[in-house]
Every structure is written in structure tokens, then in C-alpha cells.
Structure 1
Amino acid sequence: MLPGEGDGGWWPVIALAGGAARHPGYLGDLAGLGDRHRLIVPQLRGVGNSPMPASTETGSYWRQAEDVERLRIHLGLERVALLGHSAGTRLALAYAAQFPGRVARLALITPPAGYLVDEPSDADELTGRRRGEPVFEAALAALKAGPADTDDEEAFNAWHQQAAPASYAAWGAAEQDHAGTGRWSLAAAKAYFSVDPPCDFAARLGGVTAPVLVVAGAEDCLTGLAPVLALAKLFPAGRAVVIERCGHYPWVEQPAAFREAVDAFLEGL
């Protein structure tokens, strides 16, 4: 057991970055969450200092759940508190589906949810409200066009930068600074989606009895709002919090509201 585990603060929280396959440096300290809990931020397979696996399938989010389980054992924890952002929530959910009894808390930050729920996306409606903003329009066009070269990592990263303004509710100094952090690994991104999850993935989540928090950005044009809210309903103890004037990165865009929601959720550890 780690020092301070379960004393009302400093419980370890494993934070899983999204991207997919973006260097976790973009998470920062999650608006100071590391001051209250010990943040453990792994570099997923093929990202940063973590090498690509010999088998592509081992780098899939479904298979990397086994890595999270090995991390839990290494840390000497009976159960884990997991926080995933964006594509990182796929890994967090894959772990919860395969090891439901090992989850103490599960926080899903702006998760893509269309692959798990039947709720129609309202992303087009949210996007429509931003029409007429030149920076947003250019970013949206880049997002829809995709990278210029799907086999070139530099082009892949350049595309992410061009599309970045579409991820935020506003494009201020803080957002622009944040968008420049955390490089993407193209090979790792491809491996991340190399294994399709089982067809009963969503049904398995009904067996996750630990408390689950879903944090949605009210203006998240990447995920939409309605499917994200529907995701919380898959869990017996799931609930959703909507952060206003916020896109895909709530700890950057609305740090106080983000911390209020997450701190209250983790308080019972």
C-alpha cells in the first residue's frame, strides 16, 4: 500500500491520456489535482519513452488494459482510481469491463461515446452555433479533411495543430498555449485501434459497480453532449456533470469547475 492511501487525500489516481497516442504532457497537473492526489501518468505503448510493442495488437486500447492491471499489482493496490481523457477513456473503460472488481473510482473526461450508446450525436448542432468564427471554421475544415498524409507523422501532428481550435469553446491565450503541448505518435495511434472490442462491451459496463463520473463540455464539438450524458447511464452508479462554456479540455478551459466536480467525486476515497 502506498503512503497516504485512503487517508482522504493522496490516494493514487492513474490518469490515462487520450489523443489517441498523445504524449501525456498535455494533461499537465490537471488543474492542480496532483496537489491533492498522487497522479500516476503512464506513457502508453509507443508514446514518449514507451516503445512500440512487437505485436501491433498489444498496443490496442483493449489489450493495454492488461498493462493497467499490471500497474495496479506493481503499486500494491487492491483497487484503482482511474481518470481517462478523450481516447484515454476507451482504455479506462476497457479496464473496467475486464477487471470490474478492481475499480474504486472511474472518472471519464469528455469521452467519445458513440461506439457504446445509441444516443444520436448533437455535435453538428453544437458546431452550428460556432459558424462565422473564422478560426473555428478553418479548424473545422481541417478536422473534416483529415491529415494530408496518413503515413507521415509530421503531417499527422501538423493536422492536429491545424484542427486544434475546434476542440475548445474559445481560442484564447491559455487554449493556444495548451494546444501546442503533447506530440502524437502515429504508429501508436494506429495500434490503439487495431483490435475491435467485444460486441458485449457496453453490456459489461453494467457490471461496474464502483462510482463513475462522466464530465462533459457543454460546447464540445468533438464528442457532442447528448451521447456523453447517455454514457453515464450504462453504469449502476454513474452520474454526469456538464461544464458550461467548455469544450474538450475542461481542466484548461474551466479549471475551477473541473476541480469542483472531480474533487467532490474523489472525496469519498
Structure 2
Amino acid sequence: MSLYAGFDGTPLHYSESRPDPHRHRLPVIVLAGGAARHPSYLGDLAGLDGRFPLIIPHLRGVGHSPAPSQDEVGSFWRQAEDLELLRKHLGLDRVVLAAHSAGTRLAIAYAAQFPQRLAGMALITPPAGYLVDAPSDAEQLMVRHRGEPAFDAAVQASEAGPDLSDDDAFNAWQIRVAPMGYASWGAAEQAHAVIGRWNLAAAKAYFSVEPPGDLVARVGRVTAPVLVIAGADDCLTGLAPVKALAARFPSGRLEVLERCGHYPWVERPEAFRRAIDPFLDERERAKSPPPADF
């Protein structure tokens, strides 16, 4: 585990893989979702850590990083400033981001605030309703699974809403709704669903700041290549809004994985790698000199 200083001087932690013989390949900063879920649930991203060095920050209040002193400090919008300091700490001219679920909010916040420092980003099953007008089709996707006992129980728990009384209750609710996040509820999915604990206070802080009103316009000015990976059966995000998000970026591209929910590296690992590996290879080949204000 390594340390760097956040924008307010707080020591923040990150884990790092440096796979041999790929030690000198382009590092990828990976942002976990949840929000505020321990990044252990990412695993090795279907073996991606054996091809590229992965830098995985522990966001504020998660894992080994301390809780934010104020909610606003732990918001996804402000934590973009932490990412910029992590870039400098790592000595990178530009960064390649890979983000999952709620972690994509942080990736997009970074892209909006520091576009000149972004070499590319992969957004994995991103919630997109706050950036697009496309109506969610999650309800239509859910129809396919109605009648499955685990799925129906998860929907019932979701509709009842989270138990916010304490961390244990919040985590128990997350486990109850977990079947909604997968296209099927087999042994691998059930084992994965219990990995990575959520931090309730950090989750609240993450959403404590509304992004600026011109965020959509800023997204439209992000020229770095963006890969959006969607699950065709993702009942958490729906498919239509995720497709619309890919179109928001001038250099956006979309990969839809069939028979896949919210966790592509678990549900469709080979298809996930076929989608993300060429994108990262392209980013490595496109390395360029640092901007003049480095």
C-alpha cells in the first residue's frame, strides 16, 4: 500500500500492481464504485492486472484512506482534485482512467476539470441519468427476470429503500439487492456479491455536492478517447441511458456485452477483456509529450 497527499494534505492510500514483464507499460488508474465500496470487489479485473499496471486509489473514507473531514471534501466532484495530485505523485504526464459504476462519476468529474490531463478513460456500466435525457429502460430489462425468486426478493428490497441506521444495516441491504446487478445469479455471482464492504458515511459524502450546471457542456468538450462498456441486461443502469452517454463524448465509443449485468469482468470476463484491452493498447501507443504547463 502506498501513500500520497490529497488536496487538503490528508494522506490517502492506493494499491499498485506492477506485473512483470509489463512493469514499464502504461499504468491505468482504476476507480471503484459503490459508491464508497472497498475496491477489493474489483478483483484483478479478469486478469487485466497481468497486462497493465493498475493503480487503485482508496477513496476518502474507504479502505485505508481516512474519512473526509467534511462531506463536501469527500464528494466525487472534489475528489477529482485528489486524482490530479495522484497523477503528479505518480509522475504521469496524462492519465488513463478505468472506472466502474459510481466511480465513473469521479472519472467524469476529473475529465471535466482537467481535460488536458486525460489520455483516455473506460467507463464500465456507468449510471448516466444525470447526464443524458434518454429515459431509462431498466424496467423493461427487469421484466426478463421477473419470477426468479432471488431477483424478485432483490427488487422488493430495492423498492423498500436502504437501511441507513448504521454500516452493518446498509451493507446487509446491499447484499439483499445484489441479485439485481447480475444477468444471472449463479455461484460465481453470489460469491462476488459479498466482496467489498460499503462505507455509509463515505457514500453520503460522495453525493454531497451537485456538479456544476454546465457539466454536460464540459463533457461535450472532452476530446480524449472514451470507451463506454454496457451490460445488455444491466437492471441497475438500464441500457438506453448508457448508450446515450457514449454519444455525449466527441471521441466516445460503445461496447454492449450481451448476457451481462453490472459487473462485466465477473459475468463475461473474456468479452470484457476483448472490449477493454484494445482500447488500453491504443492509449499506450498514443503516448504524447506533456502539456507546456506541466
TM-score in terms of structure 1 length: 0.96
1:61 maps to what in 2?
Answer: 76
Of 257, 260, 269, the residue aligned with 2:274 is: 260
2:237 maps to what in 1?
Answer: 223
Confirm or deny that 1:250 pairs with 2:281.
no
Confirm or deny that 1:204 pairs with 2:232.
no
Of 57, 78, 90, the residue aligned with 1:75 is: 90
**Cα drift, residue 23 of structure 1:** 0.2
**Cα drift, residue 53 of structure 1:** 1.6
What CA distance in whole angstroms lies between the structure 2 residues aligned with 1:137 and 1:239? 33
Tell me how many residue pairs correspond in the alignment: 264
1:45 maps to what in 2?
Answer: 60
2:248 maps to what in 1?
Answer: 234
Q: Which runs of 5+ in 1 are unaligned?
A: none
Moved over 2 A (4+): 7-10
* % same residue: 68
Q: Which runs of 5+ in 2 are unaligned?
A: 1-17, 285-294
What CA distance in whole angstroms lies between the structure 1 residues aligned with 2:280 and 2:155? 35
TM-score in terms of structure 2 length: 0.88
Structure 1: which amino acid aligns with 2:254? A
**Cα drift, residue 256 of structure 1:** 0.1
1:170-212 alpha-carbon deviations (Å, 9 max, x no partner)? 0111101100100000000000000000011111011111110
CA contact (8 A) 2:23 2:53 kept: no
**Cα drift, residue 9 of structure 1:** 7.1
**Cα drift, residue 8 of structure 1:** 11
**Cα drift, residue 129 of structure 1:** 1.3
What CA distance in whole angstroms lies between the structure 2 residues aligned with 1:75 and 1:266? 18
Higher relative contact order (CA 8 A, sep 6+): 1
Structure 2: which amino acid aligns with 1:104? A
Q: 1:9 to 1:216 in 2, by over 3 A?
A: farther
CA contact (8 A) 1:9 1:36 kept: no
CA contact (8 A) 1:126 1:221 kept: yes
1:30 maps to what in 2?
Answer: 45
Confirm or deny that 1:187 pairs with 2:201.
yes
